[in-house]
Amino acid sequence: MKLGLFVEPYGRHVAAWRHPNATRQAGVSYAHYRDMARMAEAAKFDFMFIADTNNVWENMDFYSRSNMGAILDPLQLLAALAVSTERIGLISTTSTTYTQPYHVARTFASLDQLSGGRAGWNLVTSMFPGEAKNFSMPKQMAHEDRYERAEEFVDVVLGLWSSFERDAFVEDRATGLFFDPDRLHVLHHQGKHFAVRGPLNVPQSAQGHPVVVQAGSSGPGRELAARTAEVVFTIQQTLSAAQAFYADLKSRMPKYGRRPDQLLVMPGLFIMAGRTESEAREKYEEMQSLVHPKVGLSLLSNLIGGFDLSAYDVDGPLPELPQTNGGQGHQNALVDRAIREGLTIRQLYLATVGGRGHWELVGTPEQIVDQMEERVLKGGADGFNVMPPFPGELKTIIDLVLPELRRRGLFRTEYEGTTLRDSLGFDLPCHARQQPEGIAS
C-alpha cells in the first residue's frame, strides 16, 4: 500500500497544541517541519501532504483556542523542505477558486524542478464560506460553479505544463539556440472562466509534471477526479462506504480513456498506537480530555457545512440539515455517522475532533494493521494519508505500525526511484509525452 504523511504542525487532533509534549511555536518553526520530513523520509513514506485553506474562522471561540492563526504558506515551506530531503514527495493544497491557473502552474512546476521531480498539487475548490471574504467576494461561489471553474482550471494548468517538450532546451552554444521553437506549444486557451495564452516559462521536470491530487467526494468531485486526478484524498468511515466510493470512482475512468490503476485512492487515517490496547486508549482519552467544548462544537459546525449548532441541545440529536454549499463529502460522512451510531451532537463532536471526520484507529499495531489491510485487500483504498494525533506519535507509528506492515509485505523497505511518480508507480504522464488533445499549438 501507499502511505503519505498528513503534516500538521501540532498534529491532527484539534487539541494537540495543548499536549504537554507539544512544541511551542511549531506552526512557524522550519526546524520542526524539517525534522518531521526527515523522519518520514527515513521511514520511506511516499510523500508529505500539507493541506491548506484561505479561511480565517469567524467564530472566535474556536479561532482563539486553535492553532489556525499560526500556519505558514505551504508552498514556501515545501520549497525549503526540498533542500532538506531527497526522496519523499512534497504535496500542497492550492484552491482553484481563489487563484489563477498560470500562478498555480508556474509555482508547482518550479517546486517540481527544485525538488528533482517530487512535487504534487492537491486541487481543491475550497469548502469554507469565509474564504470568499478574503478575496473581495461577498459570498462563496455555488458548489456546482466552483467545480465548473475547476474543470477548466485544471485543463489550463495541464496545458501550461506541456508548453515545452522534454527535449526542447537544446542550449546549443555553437548556433546560439537556447530552445527549439518547434518543440514549444503555446496554449492559446479561450474558455468561459479563463483566457490564457501561455506558454509557461518552466521546463518539464524529471517526472514530467507534478502529480495531480484531488480532494473532493461529491458527485462533481468524483467526476473531476476520474478525469484528471492521480491521487484522491477522501473521507469514508466504514468499509462499505469506502468500497462503494472506490468502485464508483474507478468505474468513471474508462470513459476518459484512463485505466483504474492510473489513480490511487488514499483516504485520511488517524492512528493512535500503543504496545497494548489499554496504552493506546489511555493516550487517546488524554487527548480527548484536552478538548474545549466550544472548540468541539464550532469544529463540528464548520465541518457539517457552516451550520450553527449553538442553539441546539448538545445532548440531543443532530438536527436535519440542508445540503451544504461547502464540503459535501465531510457533511455526508458526519451526518451518516450520527445516524448510524445514534450519536448526540456532543458525542459526534467528540468522535470528530481527532480525525476531524476521517477514519480513526486506536489500538495495537496488529489491530491497526488488520483493519488497514482489510480495507486495501477488499477494495476500499490503495493506501492512506496517515494523520498522527500529535507530532510525537509520528515516531510511535514509525516504530510500531510500519514494522507490522512490512512484516506482512504491505509496505516498502526502500524507495523505487527518485521522483514522486517513481514512488507511486506511475509512468510519465501523457501530457509530458505529447501535446494534450484539443489544445492549439
Query: Where residue 325 falls among pLDDT bands split at 50, 70, 90?
Result: low
- Winning range, highest mean pLDDT, from 51-60, 286-295, 300-309: 286-295
Summarize pLDDT for 157-170 with one digit per residue, the tens.
999 999 999 999 99
Report whether pLDDT(46) > 70.
yes
Residues 6+ apart with CB under 8 A from 368: 271, 273, 361, 401, 404
Q: Measured between alpha carbons, how far is 430 from 228 in angstroms, rounded to an integer?
A: 11
| Residue tagged 507509528 (cell numbers) | 397
**Beta-strand pair 264-265/119-124:** unpaired
Cα–Cα nearest to 118, from 37, 223, 64: 37
Query: Where residue 194 falls among pLDDT bands split at 50, 70, 90?
Result: very high
When comparing pLDDT for 435 and 300, which is higher? 300
Q: Give residue 435's pLDDT.
A: 42
- Hey, which residues does 196 pair with through a beta bridge? 189
* DSSP state letter for 261: G
Q: Domains of the chain (ranges plus CATH)?
A: 2-275+358-433 (3.20.20.30), 292-352 (no CATH)
Residues 6+ apart with CB under 8 A from 371: 361
Cβ proximity of 403 and 259 under 8 Å: no
When comparing pLDDT for 120 and 215, which is higher? 120
From 47-56, 208-217, 363-372, 425-434, the region with the lowest mean pLDDT: 425-434
Run of H or E residues at 227 = helix 219-228
The predicted model scores a pTM of: 0.90
Query: Where residue 67 falls among pLDDT bands split at 50, 70, 90?
Result: confident
Number of other CB atoms surrounding residue 317 within 10 Å: 15
Nearest-Å Rg of the Cα atoms of the chain is 22
Report whether pLDDT(256) > 70.
yes
Question: What percentage of the chain carries pLDDT values higher than 90?
Answer: 68
Query: Where residue 441 falls among pLDDT bands split at 50, 70, 90?
Result: very low
Chain centroid, CA 113 distance in Å: 21
Q: Give residue 437's pLDDT.
A: 39
Collapsing DSSP to helix, strand or coil, 16 comes out as helix
When comparing pLDDT for 284 and 349, which is higher? 284
- Peptide bond just before 293 cis, omega within 30 deg: no
Query: Where residue 327 falls among pLDDT bands split at 50, 70, 90?
Result: low
Query: Where residue 200 falls among pLDDT bands split at 50, 70, 90?
Result: very high
Report whether pLDDT(181) > 50.
yes
Average pLDDT, the chain: 91
Q: Give residue 82's pLDDT.
A: 97
Report whether pLDDT(262) > 60.
yes
Q: Give residue 301's pLDDT.
A: 82
When comparing pLDDT for 223 and 306, which is higher? 223
State mean pLDDT over 312-322: 87
State mean pLDDT over 231-250: 94
Q: Measured between alpha carbons, how far is 313 from 322 in angstroms, rounded to an integer?
A: 19
